[in-house]
Amino acid sequence: MAKEVVKMIKLQLPAGKATPAPPVGTVLGPAGVNSGEFCVKYNDATKDKMGDIIPVEITIYDDRSFDLRFLTPPTPFLLKKYAKIKSGSAKGSSEVVGSITNAQLKEIAEIKLPDLNAYTVEEAMKIVAGTAKNMGIEIKD
């Protein structure tokens, strides 16, 4: 008999640095998941991506076991990393705070493609470019 899914939780955590302290413990505790076991699995799976934020979907089953599904880093995180800025513009597209090249835009789109609602890299580039514009990041040729 297949396990029954009880709950699905999404978290965004620094790669390789999950601890049972909040927010992990406060989210997983009420769901009946051993937060220490989660942290070990998460940290082992993400230790090669240290410094990045890695979102994870946690599927919790009725026997308190769980599965992890890792997603690509958030688009704003990648844009800030490539543009070498600490934060996006507070005024949106009317204030430019950084820039990336078309090659960097394509690289980010290729990273994000599995998680975006797009079939081609060109479509993904348009989605990422829209996020960049709203963050005040200019795209240069």
Question: Do residues 64 and 104 share a domain?
Answer: no
Q: Is the pLDDT of residue 107 over 90?
A: yes
In the listed set 45, 70, 95, which residue is the last one of a domain according to the structure?
70
Confidence class for position 1, pLDDT limits 50, 70, 90:
low
Instruction: Indicate the pairing of strand 5-14 with strand 53-61.
Output: antiparallel
| Model confidence pLDDT, tens digit, residues 63-90 | 888 899 999 899 999 999 998 898 888 8
CATH number of the domain bearing residue 105:
1.10.10.250
In the listed set 70, 90, 107, which residue is the last one of a domain according to the structure?
70
Question: Do residues 59 and 79 share a domain?
Answer: no
Indicate the burial class of 97 (C-beta count within 10 angstroms; 0-12, 13-18, 19 or more).
Answer: middle
| Model confidence pLDDT, tens digit, residues 19-30 | 888 888 888 888
pTM, two decimals, is: 0.82
Q: Where would I find the beta strands (DSSP E) of the chain?
A: 5-14, 53-61, 66-70, 98-101, 137-140
If one counts the domains in the chain, the total is 2
Question: Do residues 84 and 54 share a domain?
Answer: no
| Model confidence pLDDT, tens digit, residues 38-66 | 889 999 998 888 888 899 999 998 888 88
CATH number of the domain bearing residue 29:
3.30.1550.10
| pLDDT for the residue numbered 51 | 83
Give the domain range for residue 63. Answer: 5-70
Question: Do residues 87 and 135 share a domain?
Answer: yes
